[in-house]
Structure 1
Amino acid sequence: MHEAIAALSGALDLVGVDEVRHGKRVAMIARGVADRLGWSATDRMAMLHAGMLHDCGVSRIHEHRQLTETLEWDGAEDHCIRGAEYLAACRPVAHLADDIRYHHTRWRTLLELPLAPDLRLRTNLLFLADRIDVLQAPFLNSEHILNEFSNIIARIRGLAGLLFCPELVEAFAELAEVEAFWLAMEPEYLDEDLRVIGAGLEPVLLDMAELKDLATLFSRVVDAKTPFTDEHSQRVALIARELGADFGLSGCHLEQIEIAGLLHDIGKLRVSEDIINKPGGLTPSERATMHRHSYDTFRILLRVFADSKIPIWAGYHHETLVGDGYPFRSQPKELDLECRIIAVADIFQALIQVRPYRPSVTAEEALADLRRRVAEGKLDPDVVGKLAARAEAYYQLASA
């Protein structure tokens, strides 16, 4: 559970274009303040996991910039509402939904809302940790933070009672007077500290249904980047699962194919919505940005599913049977049936959806496109044949 959340929080960092570890720093700051205040081990761990997932409602780079370039932004609540909705539907982390819902709400406003006192403190602690990280961002990975942290503390103290709970602010100020607090935010130390925390935990194992809940949560984040991809990942997963069943696969095998389908585009969190929404052709630079998303998917999923083939099945969805796909230029013998299934499911569903550069197509037109790719040697004829045999059923699965 802890390892899965830590790894998937890295995917959320991609919305900031690079892996800046914002969620992990917020998590460690929140956990440190909770520890300073003597909160229970359960509450400290909840703060750690909520911190890593607090921006799960942010999919778009433009929104991320607004949230990280100003201390307060009028549109901040939208991603809090989305994130809370995503978490509430995901059983392993549903208990964090309310904390996420209010994590950009001022303390003074929280006092006026009919919320439990402990919820007010938890959600405001996330807000505090989040804004501390925004203030320290210009000095990250540099010793200059040692000359600046007193100004950050003073700035936060000046907002006590208005934005932040005074009790939380003072606990933070006590922690932050020590240089080590700031130096521990460097990426190498941050990752090491998170591994140490994880190693000391009793394992919380996820069953397949809970794992699929987590995968669905992140598929919703990915698909929310643009209206043109609404439910794309979820429908690719349904098509892939059904195709797997048509090939005689069953049980846990089908569950893993579905999870790979849900997460096949998680690397797209790095891609600007300006590129995804572009109505015309892509420039070489934009095409390169788009092409890397499947490799990012592969590497992210290796952290979560290192002992399964899910990273391969998801990360290879743009490979072809003639070796001209990306990012690995794989040969046919390297492509499992599951890779071939997800490739077909992805193309078919995308064709059925309206995209900024073309309208939706009919089932017949989509099949004609798939058969053309088969004739070119790019797609597996057996997979396309299974889909064509029940074209209307698959069209219904693909139609959002």
Structure 2
Amino acid sequence: MIKLNLHDAILALTNSLDYVGVDAMQHGKRVGHMASLVAHTLGWSEARGRHMLHAGMLHDYGVSHVREDRHLNDSLEWDGAEAHCVRGAAYLEACPALSGFRDIVRYHHRNWSELAEVSGLAPDTALEANLICLVDRADVLLTPYLSGGHLHNNIVWESHQIVERLRPLSGHQFAPVLVEAFARTAASEAFWLSMEPGYLDEELSSRCKQAPPALVAVQDLRELAGLMARVIDAKSHYTDDHSRRVAAISRHLAAVMGRGGDDLVMIEIAGLLHDVGKLRVPEDIIAKPGALTREEHAYITRHSYDTYRILMQLFPQTPIPRWAGAHHENLLGEGYPFRRDASQIELESRILSVADIFQALLQDRPYRPRLTLDEVILCMTSMVVEGRLDGEVLSVLIREREACLRLASSEFPLPSF
């Protein structure tokens, strides 16, 4: 069993979502913070207010593309908003620890006037979903006051304009009781000034300390990691299922090489999340068929360090961040982001590197077609000869090549452990 603070986990998930927008940082945090403050004004319980905080932080979990994120944050209404709600609800439903947020996420872009027609949706949940809708749109109006990592001072004088933009939508897009509660909450300067990025991070960090860590079952951890992996791989159809298959190959190789118990679970989780930093990379770069520019390559180069930082928040007392963050290191010390040499690279990171390269070479990519199994083995053998890849790990993969090929290929279902 591994100790995990659910608030810490949701905060890490939200930080990874921030990367999807590239420039639109902290959107989920502000939405959650606003929702919890309005919930307090409404007299809702502390537990329900915390639920709204977390719902707001997770509300855009179905967003994987920069273009989609920008549509959502450029206007008060967008016809294409429904798709990410459906995806997000499906992702959360598959993760028991977060399934309680499913319906809020599913309906957070539905107008209040339409929610009564949704079959089976509890009235309290409908109101909660509409609260997320309201503060989500309030944050769209707040965004022009945020730049350079700071909140502009003139929000103090102009915040009433945001409230007045939302009032005419009462009764149709938003529940009247929520609009009035938002107006009362937003009447104080403190409400708006608490959106200052540094203050917001302090507030959310302090809430982490109020939530005691809990022992989380291994299966729940795997499903939480799988939830993140689905969003990562949805960045491009070229990387569909890449993370889950790297995880399965890594686990198989580690087991054959004598690892067992929690080590197998942790290397599987590291495989599922090894590319979480790629959420920061615009999909146009991931899908580019030609050579990358210097600036575009910088996006790619930093993704493994972003992975390391996100996983340090989620699994700080485990080796998972180290293993996943080092999957682009090589034994010559010429990899990234740490430039570690062979003496500093753990076996688990070496396994992840081999599994990552093997699965990627067997997938079509925008800049090349997939390779055959023989071509992949020849290519990876040359990397061992050059001193870049671990020869022992590759020899195990070659010995297990039929099993690894099945785990790597989308034509075959993945096993459940």
The two structures have a TM-score, normalised by structure 1, of 0.98
1:124 correspondence with 2:124 = no
Separation in 2, partners of 1:363, 1:50 = 44
1:363 correspondence with 2:363 = no
Structure 2 CA distance for partners of 1:254 and 1:44, relative to 1, 3 Å: same
Separation in 2, partners of 1:176, 1:324 = 52
Task: Report Cα offsets for 1:322-376 as digits up to 9, x if no partner.
Answer: 1111111111111000000000000000011111111111211111111011111
After TM superposition, the structure 1 = structure 2 runs for residues 192-207 of structure 1, keeping only pairs within 5 Å, are 192-207=202-217
Separation in 2, partners of 1:312, 1:19 = 28
Q: Which residue of 1 aligns with 2:198?
A: 188
Task: Report Cα offsets for 1:53-95 as digits up to 9, x if no partner.
Answer: 1111001001111110111111000000000000000010011
Q: CA RMSD in A?
A: 1.1
Separation in 2, partners of 1:46, 1:325 = 42
After TM superposition, the structure 1 = structure 2 runs for residues 233-272 of structure 1, keeping only pairs within 5 Å, are 233-272=243-282
Q: Which residue of 2 aligns with 1:349?
A: 359
Q: Which residue of 2 aligns with 1:274?
A: 284
Contact residue 54 and residue 100 of structure 1 kept, 8 A: yes
Task: Report Cα offsets for 1:226-256 as digits up to 9, x if no partner.
Answer: 1011100000000001111011000101000
SS of residue in 2 equivalent to 1:205 = strand
Contact residue 363 and residue 392 of structure 1 kept, 8 A: no
Question: Could you list the runs of 5+ residues in structure 2 that have no partner in the other structure?
Answer: 1-5, 411-417
Q: Which residue of 2 aligns with 1:91?
A: 96
User: Which of 376, 384, 391 is matched with 1:374 structurally?
Assistant: 384
Task: Report Cα offsets for 1:263-298 as digits up to 9, x if no partner.
Answer: 000000010110100111111111111111111111
After TM superposition, the structure 1 = structure 2 runs for residues 192-341 of structure 1, keeping only pairs within 5 Å, are 192-341=202-351
SS of residue in 1 equivalent to 2:291 = coil
> Which amino acid in structure 2 is aligned with residue 265 of structure 1?
D
Q: Which residue of 1 aligns with 2:3?
A: none
Separation in 1, partners of 2:12, 2:238 = 27
Separation in 2, partners of 1:44, 1:363 = 53
Q: Which runs of at least 4 in structure 1 moved beyond 4 Å after TM superposition?
A: none
SS of residue in 1 equivalent to 2:404 = helix
Separation in 1, partners of 2:8, 2:282 = 27
The two structures have a TM-score, normalised by structure 2, of 0.94
Q: Which residue of 2 aligns with 1:153?
A: 163
Question: How many positions carry a matched residue from both structures?
Answer: 400
> Which amino acid in structure 2 is aligned with residue 342 of structure 1?
L
1:390 correspondence with 2:395 = no
Task: Report Cα offsets for 1:205-229 as digits up to 9, x if no partner.
Answer: 3222111111111110010001011
SS of residue in 2 equivalent to 1:347 = helix
Separation in 2, partners of 1:69, 1:205 = 41
Q: Which residue of 1 aligns with 2:69?
A: 64
1:9 correspondence with 2:17 = no
Contact residue 18 and residue 270 of structure 1 kept, 8 A: no
Deviation at 1:19, TM superposition (A): 6.7
Separation in 2, partners of 1:129, 1:317 = 39
SS of residue in 2 equivalent to 1:367 = helix
Deviation at 1:113, TM superposition (A): 2.0
Q: Which residue of 1 aligns with 2:415?
A: none
Deviation at 1:202, TM superposition (A): 4.0
Separation in 1, partners of 2:277, 2:305 = 7
Identity of aligned residues (%): 53
Deviates more, 1:277-286 or 1:10-19: 10-19
SS of residue in 2 equivalent to 1:292 = helix
1:38 correspondence with 2:43 = yes
SS of residue in 1 equivalent to 2:216 = coil
SS of residue in 2 equivalent to 1:69 = coil
Separation in 1, partners of 2:18, 2:274 = 17
